Structure 1
Amino acid sequence: MIKTILAEGRVAVITGAASGIGLAAACRFAEAGMKVVLADLEDPRLEHAAEKVASRAPSGTSAVLAVPTDVSDVTSLQALREDVEARFGAVHLLMNNAGIGPGSSIFGPIQAWERVLATNLGGVINGTRVFGEAMIAHGDPAVIINTGSKQGITTPPGDPAYNVAKAGVKVFTEALQHELRNREGCAVSAHLLIPGFVFTGMTAGSRTDKPDAAWTPEQTVDFMIESLDRGDFYILCPDNDVPRALDEKRILWAAADIVENRPPLSRWHPDYGAAFADYLKRDRPVLG
């Protein structure tokens, strides 16, 4: 189905499109002949991104639209939808990708929690609700891609607000796909993008060179498209350091904390360090 969507004349809307995975996706969709809408906060980077995407589009600037958008604000997304429909018409691909990661702690400033939840989770919910029903109504094949994180599945210590938001994205996207597949005649599907270690502005910190362990945003988008072509819902991306088999073991260990009645986040608990190390040596990911 994805090949019928990544096609000339179809319309893609990407939030968080000024850099990183969002920009790489916008370029890839433009190369396929889609009309591409880049949504991000008002910043010179958004216009620069639009110029880059236009350089990849067969139709140039006529196929690209950049719209300053705050995904935490429903009215801003509604204005985005109106601009898109006026310029290009119906939307066939929505990528709710906008995200921030300022860092957080349980008892740290509430502002960090509010910003992360409003953008990383609220932006996905808002984007889906603003665009989704019209995507269902037009009847053409369409996809909604929500960017999650492995941190929303294994929830490592260190940034609880980010983990909570991304865990919410996972749960929301699962519920969304259940809703879509049970609507008679619905041609829209939802998918959860779960990147590995990707070298982007958000993950770079003070580094200017890509670490060997990281994938590029372009590698991540290529993997995403391959996964969509297979019909995958969970797009679990590896990187140059963590293969899928290791991700599977980490995910299953986290789920087994409940099944085995272990302490939460036992992977990082001193009493379970040896057991986790032994578990990783097993050939197959087995619970317990």
Structure 2
Amino acid sequence: MINTILAAGRTAVVTGAASGIGLAAAGRFAAAGMNVVLADLEGRRLDDAAATVAAQAPSGTSAVMAVPTDVSDIASITALAEEVEARFGAVHLLMNNAGIGPGSSIFGPIDAWERVLATNLGGVITGTRAFGEAMIAHGDPAMIINTGSKQGITTPPGDPAYNVAKAGVKVFTEALAHELRNREGCAVTAHLLIPGFVFTGLTAGSRTEKPAAAWTPEQTVDFMIDSLERGDFYILCPDNDVPRELDEKRILWAAGDIVENRPALSRWHPDHGAAFAAYLKRDRPVVA
């Protein structure tokens, strides 16, 4: 179905499109001949991103639109949907990708929690609600891709607000997939993008060069497209340091904390570190 959607005359909306994975995805969609709407915070980065994407589009600037958008603001997302409909009509691909990561702690400043939850989770929910019903109604094959994180699955210590938000994205997107597949005549599918270590503005920190362990945003988008061609819901991306097998073991261990009644986040618990290290050396258990 992805080849039906990534086609001339179809329209894609990408939030967080001024950089990183969002920009790489917007470029890929534009190169396929789609109309592309880049949504991000107002500023030079968004303008430059639109020019970059237009250069990749067969129809140039006529197929690309940049809309300053704050995904944490319902009114801003609603205005985005109205502008897209007025310019391009029906939307066939929505990528809720915008995200921030200012850092957080359990008892740290509440504004960090509010910003992360409003953007990383609220933006996905509001974006889906603003575009989803119309995508269902037009009847053409379409898809909604939400950008999650491995941190929303294995929830490592260090940034709890980010983990909570991304865990929410996972749960929301699973519920969305169930909703869509049980709607009679619905041609819209949902997908959860779970990036590995990707060198973006969010992960770069003070680094100016890509670490060897990281993928580029373009590699991540290539993997995403290949996964969508297979019809995958969970798009679990490896990187240059962590293969899928290791991700699978980490995810299964995290789930095992509940089943085995281990302490929360036992992977980082001093009494369970040796057991986790031994577990990694074993073959992955078969899951029914």
Q: TM-score, normalised by structure 1?
A: 0.99
- Paired with 1:285 and 1:44, the residues of 2 have a C-alpha distance of 50
Tell me which amino acid in the other structure corresponds to 1:128. T
- Paired with 1:85 and 1:164, the residues of 2 have a C-alpha distance of 32
Aligned to 2:150: 150
Aligned to 1:254: 254
User: 5 Å matches for 1:24-173?
Assistant: 24-173=24-173
Aligned to 2:16: 16
Tell me which amino acid in the other structure corresponds to 1:282. R
Q: Post-superposition shift, 1:74?
A: 1.0
Q: Post-superposition shift, 1:283?
A: 1.8
Tell me which amino acid in the other structure corresponds to 2:117. L
Cα deviations across residues 194-250 of structure 1 (Å, max 9, x unaligned)?
A: 000000001000000000000000000000000000000000000000000000000
- Paired with 2:285 and 2:107, the residues of 1 have a C-alpha distance of 35
SS in 1 for 2:85: helix
Q: TM-score, normalised by structure 2?
A: 0.99
Tell me which amino acid in the other structure corresponds to 2:30. A
SS in 2 for 1:271: coil
User: 5 Å matches for 1:210-249?
Assistant: 210-249=210-249
Alpha carbons 1:248, 1:285 under 8 Å: kept? no
CA RMSD between the two structures? 0.7
Is it true that 1:265 corresponds to 2:258 in the alignment?
no
- Paired with 2:285 and 2:170, the residues of 1 have a C-alpha distance of 22
- Paired with 2:284 and 2:72, the residues of 1 have a C-alpha distance of 41
Alpha carbons 1:104, 1:159 under 8 Å: kept? yes
Cα deviations across residues 87-130 of structure 1 (Å, max 9, x unaligned)?
A: 11100000000000000000000000000000000000000000
Tell me which amino acid in the other structure corresponds to 1:82. E
Cα deviations across residues 7-44 of structure 1 (Å, max 9, x unaligned)?
A: 00100000000000000000000000000000001111
Q: Evaluate the alpha carbon distance shift between residue 286 and residue 263 of structure 1 in structure 2; reply closer, same or farther with a 3 A threshold.
A: farther
Cα deviations across residues 153-177 of structure 1 (Å, max 9, x unaligned)?
A: 0000000000000000000000000
Q: Count matched residues.
A: 287
- Paired with 2:137 and 2:80, the residues of 1 have a C-alpha distance of 18
- Paired with 2:163 and 2:85, the residues of 1 have a C-alpha distance of 34
Tell me which amino acid in the other structure corresponds to 1:158. G
Tell me which amino acid in the other structure corresponds to 1:34. M
- Paired with 1:82 and 1:105, the residues of 2 have a C-alpha distance of 37
Cα deviations across residues 49-89 of structure 1 (Å, max 9, x unaligned)?
A: 00000000000000000000010111111111111111111
- Paired with 1:58 and 1:100, the residues of 2 have a C-alpha distance of 32
- Paired with 1:173 and 1:211, the residues of 2 have a C-alpha distance of 30
- Paired with 1:101 and 1:43, the residues of 2 have a C-alpha distance of 19
- Paired with 1:148 and 1:276, the residues of 2 have a C-alpha distance of 25
Aligned to 1:200: 200
Tell me which amino acid in the other structure corresponds to 1:241. D
SS in 2 for 1:270: coil
SS in 1 for 2:65: strand
Cα deviations across residues 225-278 of structure 1 (Å, max 9, x unaligned)?
A: 000000000000000000000000000000000000000000000000000000
Tell me which amino acid in the other structure corresponds to 2:87. R
Q: Post-superposition shift, 1:286?
A: 5.9
SS in 1 for 2:227: helix
SS in 2 for 1:153: helix
Tell me which amino acid in the other structure corresponds to 1:212. A
- Paired with 1:64 and 1:159, the residues of 2 have a C-alpha distance of 35
Tell me which amino acid in the other structure corresponds to 1:211. P
Alpha carbons 1:252, 1:286 under 8 Å: kept? no
Identical residues among aligned pairs (%): 86
Alpha carbons 1:257, 1:264 under 8 Å: kept? yes
Runs of 4+ that moved beyond 2 A: none
